[in-house]
Amino acid sequence: MKMHRSVRWLVFAVMMLSLSAASFSQITVGISVRVAPPALPVYTQPICPGPGYLWTPGYWAWNDDAGYYWVPGTWVVAPVGYLWTPGYWGWSDGVYGWHRGYWGPHIGFYGGVNYGFGYGGVGFGGGEWRGGAFFYNTAVVHVDSVHITNVYVNKTVIVNNESHVAFNGGAGGVAARPTHEEEMAEHEHHREPLADQTRHEHMASQNKQNFASTNHGRPAIAATARPGEFKGKGVVAAKSAGAPYKAPAMSPKQARASTPAAKPASTSASANNKSKPANHPSTASNKNNTASNKANTSHTNTNKTSNHKAQNSAHPNETHANETHAAKTAAPPSHPSHTASQPHQSAPKSTPVVKPVAQHQSTPTPTPHPQSAPKAAPKPGKGR
């Protein structure tokens, strides 16, 4: 029984490790496109619906059929002790890649993007965990202090920039790099977005009014009080677009073409090209010449007959113990490098079988060589 329990625990541990690794890869790797997202719209924050809710700022997400669409900012019941690091678009290698947000004990790097309401580009100034309760900084977030008593006022909030740029790096992007604290936070244990957040994003993709091609950077639903509630008192419309809207110069399908997802094929192709010199004929010729030299040396030490001299006059690469190849050695090769490339593909398999001694022992078996006939002629002369 103890053995079975230990095996079960081992299997369970392996499954948990694999799931955590998979979730981490989903968090850090996202979609990439060739057009930049619009600027972040200007809007006010709806009032916090109750204790334990944390603000998750709005962002531009991507749809392969219609392009960028706005996911409204919303209040989410947070896992106790965890903070939300927003996702961000980052420019690299000619494309804009989406780095998905995540929950963690500390705030990580979110591109230096100023999402507002405590997310000024570095860290989070909207509140903090004290034990199992979250305390709100009313100088930054909109909280009803009558119903929520865990509040404090701290007007010291870091803001990297006052612009509404929605991406990091590249032309016009935010020039920010991770701090040491943010790098450490990225290596901590993370939790992927909650089910309410995923559902919230999916519902936003179903509303055509959220697409930038329709609202031109000024969505009618900029923020909501709760995830998925796109109607009612808690819905806030954008005051204005963060910057004048510029329609992309290409369609969504064109924007998704030739992204880094297609690069591994060319990379592997170049890797194959780099490996080709290993099969170069000159390399095969050198290996065959070395083998033939060893074989010729063995012939010289064991038998110094005229038959050996005839063999030695042939091409050195023709000393393989392959009968089909030996039959072709009657005529000298027209091009040495071509001859060396012929047996190269089979050389790795035939090399362990080749034994010059065995080849030498088989030479006395055939009929006498034509050159030995003149030596037998003087015998009748002695009888005369």
Query: What is the CB neighbour count within 10 angstroms for residue 279?
Result: 11
- Dig out the tokens for 118 from the structure: 């405590």
The pLDDT value given to residue 19: 40
Is residue 125 scored above 90 in pLDDT? yes
Is residue 180 scored above 60 in pLDDT? yes
Domain boundaries, the chain: 17-240
CA atoms lying within 13 Å on the CB side of residue 88: 28
**Which tens digit of pLDDT belongs to each residue from 133-151?**
999 999 999 999 888 999 9
The pLDDT value given to residue 65: 94
Using a 10 angstrom Cβ sphere, with 0-12 exposed, 13-18 middle and 19 or more buried, the burial of residue 129 is: middle
Is residue 159 scored above 70 in pLDDT? yes
CA atoms lying within 13 Å on the CB side of residue 160: 25
Is residue 37 scored above 60 in pLDDT? yes
The pLDDT value given to residue 82: 97
Q: Are 339 and 277 in contact (CB under 8 A)?
A: no
**Which tens digit of pLDDT belongs to each residue from 329-367?**
334 444 433 333 344 444 444 444 444 444 444 444 444
What gap in Å lies between CA 19 and CA 22, rounded to an integer? Answer: 5
Per-chain mean pLDDT for the chain: 73
Is residue 51 scored above 70 in pLDDT? yes
The pLDDT value given to residue 259: 55
The pLDDT value given to residue 336: 39
Give the residue among 200, 221, 229, 191 at the shortest CA–CA distance from 105.
Answer: 191
Give the residue among 93, 50, 70 at the shortest CA–CA distance from 261.
Answer: 93
Per-residue pLDDT band for 254 (boundaries 50, 70, 90) equals very high
| Of 29-38, 274-283, 311-320, highest mean pLDDT | 29-38
Per-residue pLDDT band for 267 (boundaries 50, 70, 90) equals very low
Give the residue among 52, 59, 58, 53 at the shortest CA–CA distance from 75.
Answer: 53
| Structure-model confidence comparison of residues 10 and 274, the more confident one | 10
Q: Where are the beta strands (DSSP E) in the chain?
A: 32-33, 53-56, 59-63, 67-71, 73-77, 83-85, 88-92, 95-99, 102-104, 127-130, 133-137, 151-152, 167-168, 223-224
Average pLDDT value for residue range 189-200? 97
Share of the chain above pLDDT 90, in %: 54
Cα-trace Rg, the chain: 38
**Which tens digit of pLDDT belongs to each residue from 114-123?**
999 999 999 9
Give the Cα-Cα-Cα angle 6, 9, 12 (nearest 5 degrees).
Answer: 150
Per-residue pLDDT band for 22 (boundaries 50, 70, 90) equals very low
Q: Are 90 and 111 in contact (CB under 8 A)?
A: yes
Is residue 4 scored above 70 in pLDDT? no
**Which tens digit of pLDDT belongs to each residue from 282-317?**
343 444 444 444 444 444 444 444 444 434 443 434
What gap in Å lies between CA 275 and CA 155, rounded to an integer? Answer: 61
Average pLDDT value for residue range 10-36? 54
Q: Is the pTM of this model over 0.85?
A: no
Four-residue CA torsion sign, 215, 216, 220, 226: positive
Give the residue among 221, 235, 226, 217 at the shortest CA–CA distance from 199.
Answer: 226
- Bridge partners (DSSP) of residue 56 are 74
| Of 39-53, 273-287, 299-313, 361-375, highest mean pLDDT | 39-53
Q: Are 30 and 193 in contact (CB under 8 A)?
A: no
Q: Are 274 and 75 in contact (CB under 8 A)?
A: no
Query: What is the CB neighbour count within 10 angstroms for residue 160?
Result: 15
Per-residue pLDDT band for 154 (boundaries 50, 70, 90) equals confident
Per-residue pLDDT band for 157 (boundaries 50, 70, 90) equals confident
Backbone torsions φ then ψ of 22, nearest 5 degrees? -65, -45
DSSP string, 248-277: -SS-HHHHHTT-GGGHHHHHHHHHHHHHGG
Average pLDDT value for residue range 45-54? 96
The pLDDT value given to residue 8: 54
